[in-house]
């Protein structure tokens, strides 16, 4: 689904994405968080990216991961924030997990109506509802612009959010709890690239929406 929007001209655009073991914060937990900042004119492959994974299954470790990530976002000096369903999923999930793990709350400074553009929530969901269509995925949104993202493979099959939550995320947390360094070294690069790829996709969609049909590759 294409959306036309004015380019507000911000020079530093931040984006955020999280990976969890379930879409429901009362049933799942945060495994990893990625944040990136894009400088106007810089290739997407050169995003200034922060990706962190859990060190253990302890609740205190999850809370520390969330707070460190939001601290990093708040300290990024970005002018604007773009996410894909961050308003309805990522930020509410992080807030609920902090509450459930007794972590001190922390406010994402760019998460406001004026400085946070949710590329799905803010217009695409309503457009899809009006048309009687399902909400578009990140990949489907890119395909609407003629860009075909290459799937990331894990164990020979495309890695999806469902597979991450049901397979990869729990496998990583189990390895972290067991201090299984071999498995962690095997799984961490996959999680890292999965997040980095989604962060690049977020920025790419924003660039397409604002008229840059040939965004920085």
Taking only the tens place, the pLDDT of each residue in 192-207 is 999 999 999 999 999 9
For residue 125, give both structure tokens: 């969901």
- Confidence grade of residue 214 (pLDDT, cut at 50, 70, 90): low
- In this prediction, residue 171 has a pLDDT band, given cuts at 50, 70 and 90, of very high
Asked if residues 54 and 213 have their Cβ atoms less than 8 Å apart, the reply is no
Which pLDDT score is estimated for 104? 86
Structure tokens at 123: 């217009």
Mean pLDDT of the chain: 93
Q: Are 177 and 21 in contact (CB under 8 A)?
A: no
Q: Per mean pLDDT, which range of 26-30, 53-57, 126-130, 165-169 is the poorest?
A: 53-57
Domain boundaries, the chain: 12-209
The confidence score (pLDDT) of residue 178 equals 92
Burial pattern 162-187, b for ≥16 Cβ within 10 A else e, equals eebbebbbbbbbebbeeeeeeebeeb
Q: How far apart are CA 193 and CA 168, in angstroms?
A: 13
pLDDT at 154 over 90: yes
Fold entry, domain 12-209: Nucleotidyltransferase; domain 5 (3.30.420)
Using one digit for the tens of pLDDT, what is the confidence trace for 95-116?
999 999 987 889 999 999 999 9
Rounded mean pLDDT of 111-132? 96
**What is the reported pLDDT for 213?**
66
Distances, alpha carbon 6 to alpha carbons 3, 99, 119, 134, 138, in Å = 10, 37, 13, 25, 20
Question: Cα–Cα distance between 81 and 53 in angstroms, integer?
Answer: 22
Decide: 53 and 46 in contact? Cβ < 8 Å. Answer: no
- Could you report the per-residue pLDDT of 11-45, keeping only the tens digit for each? 999 999 999 999 999 999 999 999 999 998 888 88
* Cβ proximity of 141 and 127 under 8 Å: no
Confidence of residue 78 (pLDDT cuts 50, 70, 90): very high
């Amino acid at each position: 689904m294409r959306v036309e929007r004015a380019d507000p001209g911000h020079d530093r655009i931040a984006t955020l994405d999280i990976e969890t073991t379930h879409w429901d914060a009362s049933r799942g937990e945060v495994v990893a968080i990625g944040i990136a900042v894009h400088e106007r004119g810089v290739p997407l492959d050169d995003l200034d990216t922060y990706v962190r994974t859990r060190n253990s299954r302890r609740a205190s470790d999850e809370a520390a991961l969330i707070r460190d990530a939001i601290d990093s976002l708040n300290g990024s000096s970005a002018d604007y924030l773009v996410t894909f369903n961050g308003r309805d999923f990522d930020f509410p999930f992080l807030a609920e997990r902090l509450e459930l793990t007794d972590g001190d709350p922390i406010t994402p400074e760019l998460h406001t109506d004026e400085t946070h553009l949710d590329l799905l929530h803010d217009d695409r969901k309503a457009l899809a509802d009006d048309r009687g269509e399902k909400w578009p995925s990140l990949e489907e949104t890119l395909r609407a612009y003629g860009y075909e993202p290459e799937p990331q493979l894990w164990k020979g099959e495309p890695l999806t959010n469902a597979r991450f939550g049901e397979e990869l995320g729990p496998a990583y947390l189990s390895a972290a709890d067991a201090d299984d360094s071999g498995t962690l070294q095997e799984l961490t690069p996959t999680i890292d690239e999965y997040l980095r790829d989604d962060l690049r996709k977020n920025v790419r969609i924003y660039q397409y929406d604002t008229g840059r049909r040939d965004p920085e590759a």
